[in-house]
Amino acid sequence: MNHDPQPAPDPSAHRPLFSPAATTVLRVALVGGALTVCAVAYATFEYYHSPYWNNVGIAPDQPVLFSHRHHAGELGIDCRYCHTTVETSAFAGMPSTHTCMTCHSQIFTDTPMLGPVVTSAERGLPLHWQRVNALPDHVYFNHSIHVAKGVGCTTCHGPIGEMALTSKGQPLSMRWCLECHRDPAPHLRPPEEFFAPNGTPPPDQADRGQQLFQALQVHTDPLVSCSTCHH
């Protein structure tokens, strides 16, 4: 009986396409890529929900180092002395140089810090204040209706009476506004406290807020309507 000779086995027939080292590198790369994607997504989420995105706590440079802590907190100057239209119009108003000079024509006239105010008065040129709280153009906000319905200054502006340099106190995002519009009672104040420079609520705020909610006739249905803020 004749037997055909068996061919010699080919060493490359069972050789893997990739070496074990290459497979390990690929697995590490895949895991590393997945972790990188997750880390970037998490960092992006945290950034867009952080004060850095909304500029909360950041005080922009101003032409004069004006201190709300000194004027409103320590001296007790009413907000309406400088922001004269806060109760009557959408815009609260900014103080003119003349308003500043009603006091500073007599006190601290030689202080270098007040040099821009004195120069503004002498030349008849207004000071160019930088906005601290700026809403998008497609958002309509009215100061007067908020004041009329019991929303105090510090609800949106933070503890303004404690700010040496004025910074943004709240994110003022759509989510933040809607949270208040859905449940405004915790943020309501009696009329004598609308313009208080501190933002510490009393221990009985929950009960008092509900009472003010009824007394001031606040209705939440229009507050959550798109057309209320987006005319």
Distance of alpha carbon 212 from the chain centroid: 26
Radius of gyration of the chain (CA): 31
Q: What is the pLDDT of residue 3?
A: 57
Q: Name the residue with higher pLDDT: 82 or 23.
A: 82
**Structural domain harbouring 73:** 58-94+129-229
Model pTM? 0.77
- Cβ distance 171 to 47 under 8 Å? no
Whether residue 75 is contained in a domain is answered as: yes
190 and 83 together in one domain: yes
128-139: pLDDT as tens digits: 999 999 899 999
47 and 89 together in one domain: no
- Calculate the dihedral angle through the C-alpha atoms of 10, 14, 15, 17, rounding to the nearest 10 degrees: 130
Q: Name the residue with higher pLDDT: 9 or 181.
A: 181
133-173: pLDDT as tens digits: 989 999 999 999 999 999 999 999 999 999 999 999 999 99
Count of structural domains, the chain: 2
Average pLDDT of the residues in 15-25: 75
